[in-house]
């Protein structure tokens, strides 16, 4: 039997301060809290690895701001991961780093522990927008950090950008994108700003000059065309990469592959079952036993599995290879969803090309409608 290969996600929930739009599980840090968390994480790593057979094909440190961890903390986490899990020699090892928290000594450590891909949260190239978003850095600081990563030999860098920021015009957005493209990062993620409950932006939503839904869509497609024209391949709704630089870790989320999440709030998908770790950092630090911190969010179920397969797989621009999907289920897709697929093809939301089922441009704009059709 083929050895299972899977992804590992490590959540580091600390940030210098909360950005105005952020609803991720993140919080301000203190030396003590950070150290206690790292100790608990190392315990969870070792207890989880004992029960997890297989090889790690991708490892992702996300947050929060993982680059806030000290050199010693990163080294101890990495040592624990390498000694407890079998990590493939060619595994993609990514880490999110935020401008303003990057130092040369940390970068040397990242190299030493095998990190081969860095993802920078920039969000905007305009300083007034960065300030409004509550970011801790200016564009100039970002660029200085970016150049340092290059000088230190990082050859696979991703940059996150936000679209549809209050007061933003399409021309401003495109000029920011051009500035970024000039730096030639290997990967660019473009997300539209969404006002999530519990964020500062949500509280002051009535005072924000946000683009209409129509403007937001126009901006998205303008960014899409611009990135494609400049050599960035759109491999997912929000993700663009130079040839061969797609994020392997994200791809496994959209390709029905198994992954384990460690740390507070981290999600896992293993043999058809989904679970999530507690979001309570105090509880986690007190007792990071997998049995105590995990909550099953979805039991194994053929129909839910198929819905997730479609929901996540259709995020990929190439779509879903129908033959491959059919190997994972008792009945073929076109039998289960014959009517829905035909209807959405007629509506111009879905298309089948070379054996792949995928969203059309209209389907991307109305993806929620498409996904709702598949729910039973
Ligand atoms: S840096 Fe990222 S995770 Fe931290 S508060 Fe800002 S958006 Fe949230």
Partners of 96 in the beta sheet?
119
What does DSSP say about strands 267-270 and 14-15: parallel, antiparallel, or unpaired? unpaired
Chain mean position to CA 138: 23
Q: Whose CA is nearest to atom 5 of ligand 1?
A: 18
Q: Whose CA is nearest to atom 2 of ligand 1?
A: 64
User: What is the reported pLDDT for 22?
Assistant: 95
User: What is the reported pLDDT for 87?
Assistant: 97
101 Cβ below 6 A of ligand 1: no
3-state secondary structure of 119: strand
Residue for token digits 């206690």? 36
- Candidates 329, 339, 334; CA nearest to 309 is 329
User: What is the reported pLDDT for 1?
Assistant: 74
What does DSSP say about strands 117-123 and 86-97: parallel, antiparallel, or unpaired? parallel
* Cβ–Cβ < 8 Å for 116, 90: no
User: What is the reported pLDDT for 334?
Assistant: 87
Burial class for 322, CB neighbours closer than 10 Å (0-12, 13-18, 19+): middle
63 Cβ below 6 A of ligand 1: yes
3-state secondary structure of 107: helix
Q: What sign does the dihedral 147-149-152-153 (CA atoms) show?
A: negative
Mutate to test the pocket of ligand 1, among 19, 27, 145 (most ligand atoms within 8 A of CB): 19
359 Cβ below 6 A of ligand 1: no
Phi, then psi, of 343 in degrees rounded to 5: -60, -45
Compute how many other C-beta atoms are within 10 angstroms of the C-beta atom of residue 194.
13
Numbers of helices and strands, H then E, in the chain: 17, 17
Distance CA 263, CA 176 (A): 34
3-state secondary structure of 337: coil
Distance CA 25, CA 63 (A): 7
Q: Whose CA is nearest to atom 7 of ligand 1?
A: 22
* ipTM exceeding cut-off 0.95 for this assembly: yes
3-state secondary structure of 350: strand
Greatest Cα pair distance, the chain, in angstroms, is 59
* DSSP per-residue letters across 192-259: E----TTSHHHHTGGG--PPPHHHHHHHHHHHHHHHHHTT-EEEETTEEESTT---HHHHHHHTT--E
Give the ligand 1 atom nearest the CA of 134. Answer: 6
Q: What stretches in the chain show pLDDT beneath 50?
A: none
Chain mean position to CA 81: 21
Separation of CA 26 and ligand 1 centre (Å): 7
| Structural domains of the chain ordered from first start | 5-253 (3.20.20.70), 301-376 (1.10.10.920)
Residue for token digits 């207890």? 47
User: What is the reported pLDDT for 215?
Assistant: 94
The kind and range of the H/E element at 146 are helix 139-151
265 Cβ below 6 A of ligand 1: no
User: What is the reported pLDDT for 376?
Assistant: 85
Mutate to test the pocket of ligand 1, among 26, 123, 134 (most ligand atoms within 8 A of CB): 26
């Amino acid at each position: 039997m083929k050895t299972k290969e899977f992804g590992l996600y490590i959540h580091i929930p600390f940030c210098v301060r909360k950005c105005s739009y952020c609803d991720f599980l993140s919080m301000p840090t203190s030396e003590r809290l950070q150290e206690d968390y790292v100790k608990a994480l190392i315990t969870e790593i070792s207890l989880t690895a004992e029960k997890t057979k297989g090889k790690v094909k991708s490892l992702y440190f996300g947050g929060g701001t993982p680059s806030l961890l000290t050199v010693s903390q990163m080294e101890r986490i990495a040592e624990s991961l390498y000694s407890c899990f079998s990590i493939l020699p060619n595994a993609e090892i990514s880490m999110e780093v935020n401008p303003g928290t990057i130092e040369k000594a940390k970068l040397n450590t990242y190299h030493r522990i095998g990190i081969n891909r860095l993802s920078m949260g920039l969000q905007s190239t305009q300083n007034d927008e960065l300030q409004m978003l509550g970011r801790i850095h200016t564009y100039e600081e970002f660029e200085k950090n970016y150049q340092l990563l290059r000088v230190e030999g990082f050859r696979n860098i991703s940059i996150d950008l936000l679209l549809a920021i209050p007061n933003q015009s399409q021309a401003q957005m495109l000029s920011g994108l051009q500035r970024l493209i000039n730096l030639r990062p290997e990967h660019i993620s473009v997300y539209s700003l969404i006002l999530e409950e519990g964020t500062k932006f949500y509280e002051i939503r009535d005072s924000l000059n946000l683009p209409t839904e129509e403007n937001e869509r126009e901006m998205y497609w303008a960014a899409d065309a611009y990135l494609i024209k400049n050599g960035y391949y759109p491999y997912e709704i929000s993700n663009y990469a130079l040839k061969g630089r797609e994020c392997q870790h994200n791809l496994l989320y959209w390709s029905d592959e198994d992954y384990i999440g460690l740390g507070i709030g981290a999600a896992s998908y293993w043999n058809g079952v989904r679970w999530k770790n507690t979001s309570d950092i105090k509880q986690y630090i007190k007792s990071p036993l997998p049995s105590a911190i995990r909550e099953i969010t979805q039991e194994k179920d053929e129909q839910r599995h198929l819905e997730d397969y479609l929901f996540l797989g259709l995020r990929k621009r190439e779509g879903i290879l129908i033959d491959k999907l059919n190997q994972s289920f008792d009945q073929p897709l076109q039998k289960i969803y014959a009517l829905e697929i035909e209807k959405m093809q007629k509506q111009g939301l879905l298309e089948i090309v070379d054996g792949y089922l995928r969203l059309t441009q209209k389907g991307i704009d109305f993806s929620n409608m498409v996904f709702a059709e598949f729910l039973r």
